[in-house]
A and B are shown apart, each in its own frame.
Chain A
Amino acid sequence: GAVVSQHPSRVICKSGTSVKIECRSLDFQATTMFWYRQFPKQSLMLMATSNEGSKATYEQGVEKDKFLINHASLTLSTLTVTSAHPEDSSFYICSAPSARNEKLFFGSGTQLSVL
């Protein structure tokens, strides 16, 4: 079946640095991808909708200048956490809908730890 690949699975970085997370649809094209964030013991929260060829749509309260999203092709969306701080430490997960939009495929997530 369709697979969404997300890399890296785990990253540790110093405060003030930037981190890029990649999300790829492996055997299908995704004009839209979704980025979620999960803090410990809390639910997954939608951060933004990534749109191929246009600007991402951010949910209320999500800083677009801090969480840069680029949907460069029909199979790749990237999330860059700029000038990361310890409070950005979280589990980030991407997803992409199937071609007929009847199913959502998820990546395995990225655990970001900012020291």
Chain B
Amino acid sequence: AQSVTQLDSQVPVFEEAPVELRCNYSSSVSVYLFWYVQYPNQGLQLLLKYLSGSTLVKGINGFEAEFNKSQTSFHLRKPSVHISDTAEYFCAVTVGNAGGTSYGKLTFGQGTILTVHP
């Protein structure tokens, strides 16, 4: 079984400041990693995903994340945040499957609420 820990439940930052949202996972098998964002009154949207290859993954809206296998981490970063980035962010994992992928059976972290202040 897999588990995901998001170390910060809330992260307040000022506009144009950098931000890092932390995510650690545990698994006895290889995994695929995801970051989702949920804006108020909307469904979850995929920000980025790591399947294989380069450990630095770039996503939408200027976000990026780095997969660190030795640290079992997948922290999300943005060098300069905007007010519009205020949302809840979820880290998730699923078992990696070389024969095909199913992203439905995700294990989520508890979520991190990012609040960007002017």
With both beta carbons as reference points, the residue of chain B lying nearest to A49 in the complex is identified as B104
From B46, B100, B105, B110, give the contact of A103 (CB < 8 A).
Answer: B46
User: How far apart are the CA atoms of A44 and B90 in the complex, in Å?
Assistant: 9
Q: A97-B103, A101-B101 are in contact. Are A43 and B43 (CB under 8 A)?
A: no
Q: Which residue of A lies closest to B42 (CB)?
A: A108
- With A41-B9, A106-B44 in contact, is A101–B103 under 8 Å at CB? yes
The answer to whether B109 touches A43 (Cβ under 8 A) is: yes
Given A41-B9, A43-B4, A43-B111, the answer on whether A104 and B41 have CB atoms closer than 8 Å is no
Contact size range, B: 20 to 34
Which of B46, B105, B106 has the most chain A CB atoms inside 10 A of its CB?
A: B106
- Across the two chains, which residue of chain A brings its CB closest to B39? A108
Interface size of A by CB at 8 A reads 25
Of B42, B44, B108, which is in contact with the most chain A CB atoms at under 10 Å from its CB?
B44
Verify A109–B110 contact, CB threshold 8 A: no
- CB atoms of B104 and A95 under 8 A apart: yes
Q: Which residue of A lies closest to B45 (CB)?
A: A106
Task: Report whether B43 and A46 are in contact in the complex, using a CB–CB cutoff of 8 Å.
Answer: no
CB distance from A29 to the nearest CB of B (A): 15
| Min CB–CB distance B97 → chain A (angstroms) | 11
A-B contacts, 10 listed (Cβ < 8 Å): A9-B41, A34-B104, A36-B108, A46-B106, A93-B44, A101-B100, A101-B103, A102-B103, A103-B46, A106-B36
Q: Which 4 residue pairs of A and B lie closest in terms of their CB atoms, listed nearest first?
A: A106-B43, A106-B44, A44-B108, A34-B104
